[in-house]
Amino acid sequence: MSKIYMDHAATTPMRQEVLDAMLPYFGTEFGNASSVYGWGRRAHQALDEARDTVAELLGAAANEIIFTSGGSEGANMAIKGIAWAYQTKGKHIVTSAIEHHAVLDSVLSLKKHGFDVTVLPVDEEGLVSPATVEEALRPDTILVSIMHANNEVGTIQPIREIGAIVREHGAFFHTDAVQTAGVLDLNVGDLNVDLLSLSAHKLYGPKGVGALYCRKGVRLEPLIHGGAQERRRRAGTENVAGIVGLAKALELARQEQGAENERLTTLRDRLIQGLQKIPATKVNGSLVHRLPNNVNVCFQYIEGESMLLNLDLKGIAASSGSACTSGSLDPSHVLLAMGLTHEIAHGSLRLTLGRSTTETEIDYVLQEIPVIVERLRQMSPLYQG
């Protein structure tokens, strides 16, 4: 069996069609989109077309799309941009305990500047209840940021319901849709969101590029000053090739999303059912409101890191949570927020499937993991197998 990549929530390989669409903009069409001559006009044209594509896929208008360097910048821009633009209206921001650190740390960074932050709890499946959001809202709440689906446990949040509550209250609502772009239908009208961020490299596009939807009439204080690009909301010469790649990747994902979700859900459930046969194993996240490609389990009496090293020896690339926290010994803030103990959370394993995943790969993984789990448990002083 050749190498198996099961970490698509961390990043995805770029599709050939995406690379092909991008290549001219690294070569003959190298112009600066702000220039008036032919090279510039053609680069500008490519940007316009990409913006139209992204806008259409989100049910938005072209002038509501801001191109960014990815999901982290999108979250930072939405949160800090709203905070600085509307601070005279109020200084209270609401988010959840299971957000990606791009959101969580952006919100928390504002505390130093006198903002008041409410971090909402989640239930044992990782769901934020709309009622909890409603209770947290105050007259001075200017922004609520709740992710569409979680990158570690795959739980999909009731964004539409939460959005309706936030809108009714008169605050702005941002959702981090990095894990759902290209997977679920993202119509910003249906979702009741004012701001939505996404990233190309999570959907078979290039790294270092993304988009932020910002509803017409919503002001954003820019993070990056120095030019009139992106309607004065983000200065800097546009990443034309990257933006073209993002639009292409989104377009392809949309075309294939129905059939691919069905295929992945079948593989996901085969993997979950197989892993559940291992004793003292817990599946994390909702089994109902779940991304089609996410499997997250805890094996009691095992360290996630030793599991990963053993899987790597068998040619399987996986994660113990998020790519951002591996390398640190802290257990996942997501699993802790869901009520898992430190000890159990340490034994977590995330397998995220993708376009390359086959049934043969799932069966190989299901053949190797029980052996590794048993071997590691035999070495654990806590395990009485």
The residue written with tokens 């010469």 in the block is: 237
The residue written with tokens 């910002």 in the block is: 214
Q: Is residue 211 helix, strand or coil? A: strand
- Cβ 273 to ligand PLP shortest distance, Å: 25
* Contact status, residue 123 vs residue 129, Cβ threshold 8 Å: yes
- Is residue 298 annotated as part of the catalytic site, yes or no? no
The residue annotated as part of the active site, out of 324, 358, 360, 379, is 324
Q: Which residue, 151 or 296, has its beta carbon nearer to ligand PLP? A: 151
Q: What single string gives the DSSP state of each residue in 178-192?
A: TTTTTTS---HHHHT
- Cβ 69 to ligand PLP shortest distance, Å: 7
- Cβ 39 to ligand PLP shortest distance, Å: 28
Q: Which residue, 210 or 242, has its beta carbon nearer to ligand PLP? A: 210
Residue in the shown chain whose Cβ atom is closest to ligand PLP? 71
* Contact status, residue 141 vs residue 90, Cβ threshold 8 Å: yes
* 281 C-beta neighbours (distance < 10 Å), count: 18
- Cβ 242 to ligand PLP shortest distance, Å: 11
Q: Which residue, 44 or 248, has its beta carbon nearer to ligand PLP? A: 248
Angle subtended at Cα 161 by Cα 160 and Cα 163, rounded to the nearest 5 degrees: 65
Q: Which residue, 197 or 229, has its beta carbon nearer to ligand PLP? A: 197
- Cβ 179 to ligand PLP shortest distance, Å: 5
Name the token pair of 163: 């959005």
Provide the binding-site residues for ligand PLP, judged by CB under 6 A.
Answer: 70-72, 100, 102, 147, 151, 176, 178-179, 199, 201-202, 210
Q: Which residue, 102 or 365, has its beta carbon nearer to ligand PLP? A: 102
* 147 C-beta neighbours (distance < 10 Å), count: 28
Strand ranges, E, within 320-383: 348-352
Q: Is residue 122 helix, strand or coil? A: coil
CA distance 364 to 75: 37
Active site residue ranges: 324
